[in-house]
Amino acid sequence: MAQENVMKFIEMMQENEEVQAQLGHILNKGEADEDVTAILTLAEEKGVPFSVEEFMQEMKKLSCTELSYHDLA
């Protein structure tokens, strides 16, 4: 279930400008450990909680084109 949540969060990130803006803000302001915590918190707030391990496992499966997050700046 949590791995499905990772994919739902990625889809949400790609399709929802508000989530993109929130994620962009997180990535632009903090350090790596703070970024991870903030991303997990954002995912939980959006109703798709997952762990760091689950996130990393799913990221390994995806290609760069599937992650297309170049709009986050």
Render pLDDT for 44-69 as a digit per residue (tens, 0 to 9).
999 999 998 898 888 777 765 555 55
pLDDT (tens digit per residue) in 6-59 = 989 989 988 999 988 888 888 787 666 788 888 899 999 999 999 988 988 887
Residue-level pLDDT at 70 = 46
For the entire predicted model, the pTM comes to 0.70
Q: Does 16 map to a domain?
A: yes
DSSP, collapsed to helix, strand or coil, labels residue 17 as helix
Distance of CA 9 to the CA centre of its chain: 6
Q: Does 73 map to a domain?
A: no
Q: Does 49 map to a domain?
A: yes
Whose CA is closest to 40, among 22, 64, 16, 66?
Answer: 22
CA angle in degrees (0–180, nearest 5) for 27-65-46: 45
Q: Does 72 map to a domain?
A: no
Residue-level pLDDT at 30 = 65
Q: Does 35 map to a domain?
A: yes
Q: Does 13 map to a domain?
A: yes
Number of compact structural domains in the chain: 1
Give residue 18's domain range: 2-67
Classify the phi-psi angles of 61: left when phi > 0, otherwise alpha if psi is within -120 to 50, otherwise beta. alpha
